[in-house]
Structure 1
């Protein structure tokens, strides 16, 4: 695509060249915009934003090209001919975007508050007209003046009331966004593929297509939701502020966002921008930005609008979490329990702050469910620190060269035949659990993790080197390692063959790790289903490895938080000879095999559920969880009516607001310490 030129043309030929370049860029914007509103997009939202901004920059450099029918002057896209045309009572507009805190501040400096901050829902705009409390018409945004009549379809969306209640006006035009919740999307795609259709690429386009179904019964299947975010024409209703308008909509039975907040100052707006950058997935819907609006309706009128967007509102767009790239191949990795996991080998692409070249596909059934083929252009998402995930293909870009993924019959690392561990398992595993280098390496990393023995000097590189150099056959001899053993490795030796600083640190870490609590030892054994929670419960009840070995499946299952599946998995693990050998070797090396008598902390939180949100000064996330559980409490991840206490630290998320909404007791860090020491009585 052509960059915007810096200098004005000097000849007629130059002018013709500029017109040609502008026309090519404008046509490309129009094509992708039409696909976004009326079809299946083939580029990501972020790529479209960049394309649109380049056209704007081109026209700013050459104002003579900014003609009235330029895409930069238009709202939405022309309507399709699938539905009858509808003229909106009041024009629907788009929003201008900003992409940095500096651009945000520039807008705030010229636009006085107070403001409202609202999440920018990634869905499809809808216009609803209520006359005397009755829904008489629903339409898409279209080009902002004319939309498509989708009244019958809107009436099957559960969130859209057919009749208002309360003190409603004679006429009100309501604007909202139709969307699909991320949690509903996988089920829709599975159903789509089962019916022989192409998989959907993302929830936004699935919602757009759903709203335009010819048969309202088909619309029902899309699980569409709706949230209101504005008003248009009205009679008998004159709110003074945007916030007042939302309160009225809610009182009439219309859904409004629970995330909308009033901001008195520009500083509060910037704080909201920063907050939602870290909490993009706390909402019930997809969101790609924060909308900031001047709250006063009178001020909105005074500020006015351009040909396409109001001057009293702007959208702060966050860096993309979804991009498109080429799926070059699908390979399979082997985890610590032998699970074979397909993953996408991608054309490297920058998303959410880093370059991504691989993304998970979970299992072979998920590959089929998503409908991806090797060679596809695919949509991927990377949310914060979460492993990137392939959402689905852009099926319209296929050229016939794509091919299906064939799940391997043998382990790609050791060659052993793959199979499900038991009948009905979705996951296939490599049964060569002891000797498969991939499994052993992953188990060693897991042993060294903070949730198990916390051996700082044993990482991925070191673990794999100890296996490749023949130092370790399995994890049984890990705690017997000596300097002489490490001299056989590459990762832990210097060029002269002597043990390096990392090797000496490893030996020190291993010696320290021998004194870890029994529950950490249980975690380090990599017993399927036995994670930190179950391990804590078993160690707290049985106190020693020998008592656990002597216990029956029924006794183990009777432990709170364990149950029959974990109990059977635990006993099955010890039926394997080399598994028992590991435990015996660790015990001989001096690893803790029982908790000291009298070490148990007072059970000050017995029967209590505690949620911690935000950053604490004297506890890490793992430490505070351990502190709660070791005193008999349950460290929960979400706030509900049954939560006993919510501890709020710095930069607390939506859980704090949820606690206030539900009226749950909120504690600071000092009160948490008192609770840990003395129980609820200490808070009196």
Structure 2
């Protein structure tokens, strides 16, 4: 037989057998037959390299070691979900949905897989790119590692262009086998299957990922506008039809009572699964209703995650340590006898502040109940006072900073004690850790341990010092090899190109979070303009209140801040905004300024997210539903009920051409 024809035949057979085994869980041939055909294909490709394609089944065994992971900007952000912790939260979610879109709302309930969220892109049915969620906007490309996950199809059954989202996880049996091997090799075992899955996908050697037996469930189509599906449940059925693995335990529910019944059912049945879940995801089924409900800044209004009740365990509080945050707040932390909680060993739990310690009557030596809030953050629930021995020690907050010995103060209206010494080493160190973090300058390789080493060795004193680090200096650090040092210096250099809002957030100006930093960067466009802004100019921006404005003005008046910004400028750090421009503070004559606008239908020249960003940058407010307060409707192709409602209310209606014309003025 012709080699090319045989390779094609092997592709088809191996893909089919792989789908039957890993997606349908119904193998039609023994493993030995699959392995024999795989070896035949590997040999043919070795002898005829020109016949190896990007979607060959042989890529699943892993390829060459990677140099590192590239950053990927998600075309459609991967938003997080709002949380529900009890029945009332679910009923409130249902009430809000019905108030917005009408009384008839049905839902789809799905198991919330405890794994790593990924985005998969296909062109003409071929898998071309896979990435992690990252911060929701920027992730890492891990395509090579994802190809080793056998339940991810490399070629779909239809030649479609599609982006899907899913959750990669490690089944419990695979996790137990992996940890048994690590213990045998005297390696640190993984804390839980989620950490093991995440660690596997971030291996630079794809062969390691290939051995970890990862799995996936696909749960969403990123953009349904180019499909014929009209509901989330239809979308999941179609995804199955074209070759994706979805979770079959999902259920369509006509009422919130049925949703609650499903939730209660899985609270009991959860241990029966072969993989970990940490809750239930509830989504409005109708895509039209999803569109009408829209989004908040962080999450969709049409979906919510019910988190299972936290597991509570008893342990002993053996000490209370104090840490100093980047704003000088002194935080007490409980040091616990190690205890297993929700799959991980817990040794520390935040006690937040002195008032909480007094309120819960916590003493050193107490038997305490511990849980993980949202299955993530350890916290002390209460003290088992009846089990006290009388040897417990009362804890008193100090009067001076544990790091620099400066006197602590309690500012008006605040619960926390605070060190206000601007030269406090702990504050400087924490500020540096914040500066390089994901939502700030996002410098790969500069974690807490590396920053602490650099600070301890006096290689850095402030953030500007990062930009004069040399490879030779970095190589002095513990466990820092030639390659790691080169990558770190390159990552620091690359961060110079970040847009202004990343730097603003990284500087840690009091009260200025990531969202406010983006707003300020959009409005002022350059650091210089922001530096010289007045309180009146700042409070003229809707999202900036007096307290934040005062903090900004005070920050930029400090001589040491002015010197820092000069240093950053001299080192080549970008001090300008690179995103869509906002309407200036002085000039509010944009057509969109102060107007409420709704987008509906399919847009051809702009993505929905780009159109929204540009309108909001020009002072408009984009909402998800049409009402009497709507000023303008932008109607793309196949506009539906929103267009009808806008016509009934005599609301101004534009097509996309008119929108683009106005945006480009």
TM-score grouping bracket, smaller chain normalisation: 0.3 to 0.5
Could you say which structure has the larger radius of gyration? 1
Q: What is the TM-score when the length of structure 1 is the normalising length?
A: 0.44
TM-score (norm 2): 0.45
